[in-house]
Chains A and B, each alone.
Chain A
């Protein structure tokens, strides 16, 4: 029981019902009265996943498509709930699952900052105090008063990243989103994440590229068909993963 643990995932499984069409409420209510129940085909996206992340650590999650990486992140980010086991986090979690998720096309950049920062847990006053810093970081200057629909995808990505960075997160949860911006902005994001890390912010990131995980993370987890294949020092796990994938 360490004081420094900020993420603890124990025995977590996530089950999805494989439904082709949504059920009907009226029909389900009739079934509740005793007629036959719908048979649901289920799929376990994650099973028996356990690990811990300590404060200030950069933790990577590796795995091929469909191995459950994004599902695991959504549990950490709190957008969905485990079907079994417990996913615990400590402090404010700032999820970057999709840059610009929740932006409203009709609202201006400034309005979107207030809404998004609010959704991440800031009060309006805190959001207004950070407004300038966010705008500067996103390099949006004069266009911040125009509706988001006129932004390029890169501009939206920068704004999303800037907001997530400025809500004083304790834990950053990042899903392969940094691939969006141009190389210069990607570099800026890397530097910012490193700065957060130096301040004791914990980062959990999903990457396809084992080299990136090996270089940037302290420890890594390899997911295979929803189960933990290996967890340990990032360089070792990344090398093993790379060997398994190419070999």
Chain B
């Protein structure tokens, strides 16, 4: 069900055989058994390889991060300016025109918005990652899943920097914050978001090689996703049936959890967290499965 690498040299030990056939890849003795590596073995192999190649991954991440900012006029400043402008627009529309009565709406929105920005930019960057690195995919054999993962992590650097904004607003809206040891929960919440992003990125990047409409589908789904995620509202405001549906969106649990942690100083509530962990796991495994299915033909189509 998971990750498997064409010719992954990282895992070809000095004297072991690698057998490649239409059914997949097999590591081991001289005679292939005809049964390719199992999904679970492939997943653990992929995790071990990622760890082993962490420095390579890091250089890929930095390359992605730098090249993005070299291409933009405002550079890194845009990463801060964008959520701020968005926040100003949103609070104009929602607090001054629509008169929404959410206390500290600016902070309420901003916390969810930086998770959303990571998700949306990370997904887009990951989706294009194989096509953009076509020569790498075609001409070298390496663990290809590192490319979408690097794209996701590069956007994760922005996400980390944007927390400076969130905490900076403490000096403007001190009543919006309640700092507590629960702030530590931001680490697992971010990890949960990473898992969702890797799952989504693995499937969209692989499908994008095969199909030409994937990028458009992703952009459209992200537009809907903005309204189906609790950025401008909280899931609790929804009627019970709708609330249950909204919680199926793993981002909902992450965003609500982060608000609980930062604004209320309490641990993320289980009714938000459990569905998020469950759906995030499903998304991750589906991503691995789609990638594994497409992987054998990636270089034929890219």
Contact = CB atoms under 8 A, between A and B. Distances in A.
B6 A78 contact: yes
Contact of B17 (A1, A16, A90, A120): A90
Q: Please provide the 10 A-B residue pairs with the shortest distance between their CB atoms, ordered closest to farther.
A: A78-B7, A118-B56, A124-B55, A101-B139, A119-B142, A78-B141, A121-B9, A25-B211, A22-B212, A102-B136
A23 interface: yes
Contacts, number: 163
Nearest to B53: A118
A16 B22 contact: no
Interface stretch (A79-87, A186-194, A225-233, A236-244): A79-87
Contacts of A120: 9, 140, 142
B56 A79 contact: no
Interface string B143-164: 0000000000000000000000
A98 B213 contact: no
A87 B8 CA distance: 14
B63 A101 contact: no
Contact of B6 (A81, A123, A170): A81
A119 B145 CA distance: 12
B63 A104 contact: yes
Contact of B299 (A21, A79, A82, A94): A79
28 contacts: A23-B212, A25-B213, A79-B7, A80-B6, A81-B6, A81-B20, A81-B297, A86-B21, A88-B20, A88-B30, A89-B12, A89-B17, A90-B17, A90-B18, A92-B9, A94-B9, A95-B141, A98-B139, A101-B139, A104-B67, A106-B63, A114-B59, A115-B56, A117-B56, A118-B53, A118-B55, A120-B140, A127-B55
A155 interface: no
A79 B140 CA distance: 6
Given A79-B138, A84-B22, 18 more contacts: A21-B212, A23-B211, A25-B213, A26-B217, A28-B211, A80-B300, A81-B22, A81-B25, A88-B17, A88-B30, A97-B138, A102-B135, A114-B55, A115-B56, A115-B63, A118-B142, A123-B55, A124-B56
Interface residues of A, number: 52
Interface in B267-302: 296-297, 299-301
B16 A90 contact: yes
B52 interface: yes
Interface of A: 1, 5, 8, 16, 21-26, 28, 74-75, 77-95, 97-98, 101-102, 104, 106-107, 111, 114-121, 123-124, 127, 170
Contacts of A114: 55-56, 59
Given A91-B15, A95-B139, A118 B21 contact: no
A74 B56 contact: no
Nearest to B52: A123
Interface in B14-42: 14-22, 24-25, 30, 32
Contacts of B56: 114-115, 117-119, 124
Contacts of A104: 63, 67
Contacts of A80: 6, 297, 299-300
A66 B16 CA distance: 32
**Which of B12, B59, B297 has the largest number of chain A CB atoms within 10 A?**
B59
A26 B59 contact: no
A216 B219 CA distance: 54
Contacts of B53: 118, 123
Contact of B8 (A1, A78, A115, A116): A78
A5 B20 CA distance: 16
B155 to A, nearest CB: 18
A82 B21 contact: yes
B185 interface: no
A123 B138 CA distance: 22
B142 A101 contact: no
B60 interface: yes
A88 B18 contact: yes
Nearest to B136: A102
Contacts of A82: 20-22
Given A5-B30, A78-B9, A86-B21, A107 B59 contact: yes
B210 interface: yes
